[in-house]
Amino acid sequence: MAIQIYGDIDRRPDGKIRSFKPSQAEHMAIENLREEIESRQRGIKMGLIPASEVHLTNEAIRKGKERLGEIENAVKPLTDQERDWAHKYRKQVGAEIGEKLFTHTEMDMGFADPHEEVDRMTKKTIKIDPEQAKESGVTLIDGKGSRNDAAKIFQHLSYRLEESPDIERLRKTGKRGSNVRGRKGEVE
């Protein structure tokens, strides 16, 4: 099962995705568009728009409403079954991502090796649902994706479920001395 992330409005004429973030997840832009439409409508109602510009303003209102409708109807609402699957899969992918992140302690103490971090980000080691990968624009190798690929899917599912897409929340705290020895800058 794959959860639809992008609608037609999010794709270029050649079918490629326009932006990482789907249009429905752009809450500030949607709110600004609504505000602009309402402001123009109030301006006409209160007589603040000159008679010579009322037609142009009405046309701008019509186009704004049309655009807003396209954004709101870009993807169909999730069914209960899809919502349950998305929650479960998001949690599973989040756990995989969390395993590939250095702990807060390792980061704070300077034990996070930059070369290993790049490997963790880019090596295709996480098994990913192929249908969801395709919907999110992720390319898999042997059914596996990188941590960055998994993060993209995690964030897309988060947008659809209206939950936090913050990957940093998946980073484990770690305990001083548990899996880290020495002090920052000290060579053993």
Residues 150-162 pLDDT 10s: 999 999 999 999 9
What is the longest distance spanned by two Cα atoms in the chain?
80
Please tell me the predicted confidence (pLDDT) of residue 175: 63
| DSSP structure string for 99-135 | HTSPPHHHHHHT---HHHHHHHHHS--EE--HHHHHH
| DSSP structure string for 5-38 | ---GGGB-TTS-BS-SS-GGG-HHHHHHHHHHHH
Q: Tell me how far apart the terminal alpha carbons of the chain are, to the nearest angstrom.
A: 50
Mean pLDDT calculated for residue range 99-111: 87
The whole-angstrom separation of Cα 24 and Cα 73 is 9
Phi-psi label, residue 162: left if phi above 0, alpha if psi -120 to 50, beta otherwise: left
Please tell me the predicted confidence (pLDDT) of residue 176: 53
Residues 165-188: tens digit of each pLDDT: 999 999 888 765 445 444 444 444
Mean pLDDT calculated for residue range 131-138: 92
Residues 54-98: tens digit of each pLDDT: 999 999 999 999 999 999 998 899 999 999 999 999 999 999 999
Each as own residue / partner, the long-range contacts of residues 67-71 (CB below 8 Å, 24 or more positions apart, any chain) are: 67/33, 68/30, 68/33, 68/34, 68/37, 70/9, 71/9, 71/23, 71/24, 71/26, 71/30, 71/33
Residue 97, CA atoms < 13 Å, CB-side half-sphere: 23
